[in-house]
Structure 1
Amino acid sequence: MTRNTGVVGTDERLPAPPADGMLWDIATPTLSSRLPGVTMAGFTDRGITPPALRLIPHPAVTLIVVFDGSIAVEDGDGRPYRGSFAIGPGYGDALRALQVDAFSCLQVRLSPVAAHALLGGSAAELDTVIPLDALLGPDSDRLNDRLAAAGTWQQRFAVLDRWFSDRRAAAGSPIDPEVGWSWQRIASRRGAVRVEQLATELGWSRKRLWSRFGSQLGLSPKRAAKLVRFDHAVHRLVAGGPPALVAAEGGYADQSHLHRDVAAFTGLTPGTVTAEPFLAVDDVAWGWPGRGG
């Protein structure tokens, strides 16, 4: 698959004029992951990634596996991180790239349910940024070596998919079916759910749902719904949806409510967030617009 934006979905690279606005060459797997809730994309810097690039919150645990070159980022409290790292759902705090040396990396998005299955209890503690070697231990270096040795993007995707399959088989840390159902309900309804209604449908108390959901997935059901709702809304804005219509159809009380959520997650307004480069590539890397929850 190729597109005239200069982004590639196979191992082939296409030259692209600077006017296309793309900061990276992007590769996507030809086959979906064997594991539900796992998506991957490969990024290669074109040498024009700007410093202070803003990363936009997303309702997934995100792994950035850098196997060539270097990336340095800073979280909202000014803590720097260099190399490969993991980010909790919503990124916890504002996150910006500080320095980017020509790089190639795999970005992996894990739904909170998939993250629990693959990372165990560690996934629930990812409320901010953590170096990948601190999360995975020696497995991090071994994974980087295997990815660097792979000759093509499709081989790298296959390496990572096998690695995830092995980890899932060894994890032995299932979540409560009720918690998994609650996440799927939130995702399928694009965040337009009430925690009280979820608890009622489960036959649980609100307190029990809040406690189990938070301890196993790392965020409250209310925060999860807010983040999923924001994610769908911001991509509709990028696709050209008028803010008033996006708010009305996205489960917001009014346009001001949408404005507050966009500002809370990004520090921007609905009118300015649409120019963010990190969002502009999502239709190619992750299948937006119209990606399922």
Structure 2
Amino acid sequence: MAGFGDRGRTPPELRLIPHPAVTILLVFGGTVGVRDPAGRRHVGSVVIGPGFGDVLRAVEVAAYDCVQVRLSPIVAHSVLGPAATEIGAAVVALDDLIGAAGQRLCEQLDELDDWNERFAWTEEWLARRCSTGSGVHPELTWAWQRMTVGRGLIRIEELAAELGWSRKRLWSRFHSQLGLPPKRAATLIRFDHAVHRLVVGQSPAAVAADYGYSDQAHLHREIRAFTGLTPAAVVDEPFLAVDDRAWGWPGRPSPAGPAR
């Protein structure tokens, strides 16, 4: 989780970098409205599917606070229900997935003044949703963890063989319960690791070698495909620039407090 507070500095456009997670933006104490690339307008709390990487345009902003939560697709299935698998790489209103429960959570967060209390309250809410929600098959939980530990470098055929499944069976169950194909998931995990190594100053050549790209040009093409940017430009994107403070990543210490 990370916390953000608007103080009249919301830029007219926010580019989101694809991430292998379902992102929930819990908006309270004010209003923020955005328009997605498809032209849909969203006001208030939203859910962003794994792999979304595009510009959201601000259309309505009044001083607000926001708790941003990143959930693996495994956890998102329990927290948001099976409908979470239908989000795809898109933006949907939180209320469309869980009804009034999201609004009640935001009202409760607005009554708290301390960010640590807000994080604790959100964590308790997530835990309750997980305890009562439907989980995915244990084999898929194992497969996701295998992918993340392996930084997305494992071949799908190898993963299916370790499960004792056919490649077709893995694809079908993974896609139906996690909302994206296994190859897409592995690609997102690898990309996320690679782009963050660029942010901390590792050279594109070294990143390409460490993360299984055939060469530096292959890495360049993937970054361009995901973001429309070059490796040199993507490292300056605001959402990546604060990730070490807001989230941390392998090899970096996690933050002691919220990013503001």
TM-score if structure 2 supplies the norm length? 0.91
Is residue 71–residue 97 contact of structure 1 (8 Å, CA) maintained in 2? no
The equivalent of 1:191 in structure 2 is 152
Q: Distance in 2 between matches of 1:200 and 1:42?
A: 41
**Residue 211 of structure 1 aligns with which residue?**
172
Q: 1:89 aligns with which of 43, 50, 55?
A: 50
**In 2, Cα distance between equivalents of 1:57 and 1:291:** 20
Matched, 1:140 2:102: yes
What SS does the corresponding residue of 1:57 show, helix, strand or coil? coil
**Is the CA contact 1:247–1:253 (under 8 Å) kept in the aligned structure 2?**
yes
**TM alignment of 1:8-157, pairs within 5 A:** 40-91=1-52, 94-99=54-59, 100-127=61-88, 128-157=90-119
Asked which structure has the greater RCO (Cα within 8 Å, sep 6+), the reply is 2
Equivalents in 2 of 1:269, 1:177: separation in Å?
Answer: 38
- The one-letter code matched in structure 1 to 2:114 is T
Q: Distance in 1 between matches of 2:33 and 2:209?
A: 38
C-alpha separation in 2, matches of 1:291 and 1:135 = 34
Q: How much does 1:153 deviate?
A: 1.0
Q: What is aligned with 2:227?
A: 266
Q: Which stretches in structure 2 are left out of the alignment for 5+ residues?
A: 254-260
Q: Distance in 1 between matches of 2:10 and 2:252?
A: 26
Q: Is 1:290 matched with 2:251? A: yes
Question: Which residue identity does 1:73 align to in structure 2?
Answer: V
| Contact 2:87 2:179 survives alignment (8 Å) | yes
Residue 155 of structure 1, CA deviation: 1.3
Q: Structure 1 counterpart of 2:128, which letter? A: D
- The one-letter code matched in structure 2 to 1:268 is L
Partner of 1:227: 188
Deviation at 1:65, TM superposition (A): 0.4
Q: CA deviation at 1:291?
A: 5.9
Compare 99-108 and 119-128 and name the one that shifted more.
99-108
TM-score by length of 1: 0.82
The range that moved more, 137-146 or 207-216, is 137-146
Please state how far the C-alpha of 1:178 moved relative to its aligned partner: 1.3
2:258 paired residue number: none
Q: CA deviation at 1:255?
A: 1.2
Q: Which residue of 2 aligns with 1:162?
A: 124
Deviations along 1:77-126, whole A, 9 cap, x unmatched? Answer: 232222110011112x5232424443210000001111112222122112
Give 3-state SS (helix, strand or coil) of 2:12's partner: coil
Q: Which residue of 1 aligns with 2:211?
A: 250
Deviation at 1:289, TM superposition (A): 5.6
8 Å Cα contact 2:81/2:97 also seen in 1: no
Unpaired runs of 5+ residues, structure 1, are 1-39
Return the offset for 1:198: 0.4
Aligned-pair CA distance for 1:166: 1.6
Quote the sequence identity (%): 58
8 Å CA contact 1:41–1:108 kept in 2: the answer is yes
Counterpart Cα distance in 2 of 1:202 and 1:136: 33
> By how many angstroms is 1:194 displaced?
0.8
Bigger mean CA deviation after superposition, 240-249 or 99-108: 99-108
Cα RMSD of the aligned pairs, angstroms, is: 1.6
Shift of 1:288: 3.3
Q: Distance in 2 between matches of 1:231 and 1:157?
A: 24
Q: Distance in 2 between matches of 1:189 and 1:107?
A: 26
Indicate conservation of the 8 Å contact 2:36/2:55, yes or no. Answer: yes
Secondary structure (helix, strand or coil) at the match of 1:271 reads: helix
Contact kept in structure 2, 1:73 and 1:95, CA below 8 Å: no
CA distance in 1: counterparts of 2:249 and 2:164, whole angstroms: 35
